[in-house]
Amino acid sequence: MTPMVKAEQVCKSFGALQVLKGITLEVDKGQVLVMVGPSGSGKSTFLRCINHLEQVNAGRLYVDGDLIGYRDRGTKLHEMSPRDAAKQRRDIGMVFQHFNLFPHRTALENIIEAPIHVKRVNKDDAIARGKDLLNQVGLLEKADAYPAQLSGGQAQRVAIARALAMNPKLMLFDEPTSALDPELVGEVLEVMKKLASEGMTMVVVTHEMGFAREVANQLVFMDGGVVVENGPPREVLANPKEERTKAFLSKVL
């Protein structure tokens, strides 16, 4: 079976600054990968490379067997046109730390925006599906509310529903609970747990070790742009092998 995400020696630099120094990992279909590590370690950059918000400088990154960002024409790679890149992203949902909901649209309008205008889904079907998704994240009564009227937890759940509306085969979460008040973290993690139990393939950057232990199939600890440790979460959390992992975990646990 082709893995959903396959990274081979992925490198990314911003000018002289090398942020990713050869990331190699795989995520199988239906699996949940959680990435942890100190800030600046490159977790978010790696996540953004997966849906080509950042272009990889070296190495190869595949989603469901497709090379991301480039066309492989035998001897040489060709930069992908914006149109083809947009097509690749349609199947990859992304949830941001600061939600990035569209403030001028209601919760429901946020969700149906991309299906209608990108996928050209019939409007009535999109609304029906949108309401169904809102119901799944427990916010059907907030369909007509604008993002500014939602709490952080509600906004993030709407953002998850918005990503799901495109029927993605892979969901990326970039610190989805880091901007939330502590008492609102649980409701967002609940939705993510449910999603994982339904078999969604997920890559999650987070500081929620409890979530990692409970939901993840694979835990990656990153530091300084490299994967320091990679394994089943209980093992990595309970018996870290590397000094750097031990030092980090002692601070967050």
Partner 1 sequence: MTVVDSPPPASPAAIDAVPLRHPWRWVAAVVIIVLLGLFLYGVATNPSYRWSVFFEYLFNDRILMGVSNTLQLTVYSMVLAIVLGVILAVMRLSANPVFRSVSWVYLWIFRGTPIYVQLTFWGLIPTIYSKIQLGVPFGPSFFQLDLQALSIPFLLATLGLALNEAAYMAEIIRAGISSVPEGQLEASTALGMSWGMAMRRTVLPQAMRVIIPPTGNEVISMLKTTSLVTAVPYTLDLYSIATREIAAREFEPVPLLLVAAAWYLAVTSLLMVGQFYLERYYSRGASRKLTTKQLEALAKAQTTQLGEPHV
Give whole-number Cα distances, 153 to 35, 109, 190, 200, in Å.
21, 18, 11, 21
Stretch that binds partner 1, among 18-26, 79-87, 175-183, 199-207 (CB under 8 A): 79-87
Quick one: 147 or 225, whose CB is closer to partner 1? 147
Residue 16, amino acid:
A
CA distance 177 to 218: 19
Instruction: Output the six-digit token pair for 238.
Output: 């309970």
Closest CA to 245 of 214, 215, 216, 220: 220
Name the minimum Å distance from CB 174 to partner 1: 10
For partner 1, what does the binding mask look like between residues 25 and 54, x meaning CB under 8 A? --------------------------x-x-
Closest CA to 67 of 20, 1, 10: 10
Quick one: 108 or 227, whose CB is closer to partner 1? 108
Quick one: 188 or 228, whose CB is closer to partner 1? 188
Q: 3-state DSSP call for residue 139?
A: coil
Helical (H) or strand (E) element with 17: strand 17-27
Name the minimum Å distance from CB 32 to partner 1: 19
Q: Rule CB under 8 A: is residue 120 a binding residue for partner 1?
A: no
Report the relative pairing of strands 170-174 and 201-205 from DSSP bridges. Answer: parallel
Quick one: 5 or 212, whose CB is closer to partner 1? 5
Q: Which residues of this chain interact with partner 1, rule CB under 8 A?
A: 51, 53, 82-83, 86-87, 89-90, 92-94, 96, 98, 100-106, 113-114, 117-119, 141, 144-149, 162-163, 166
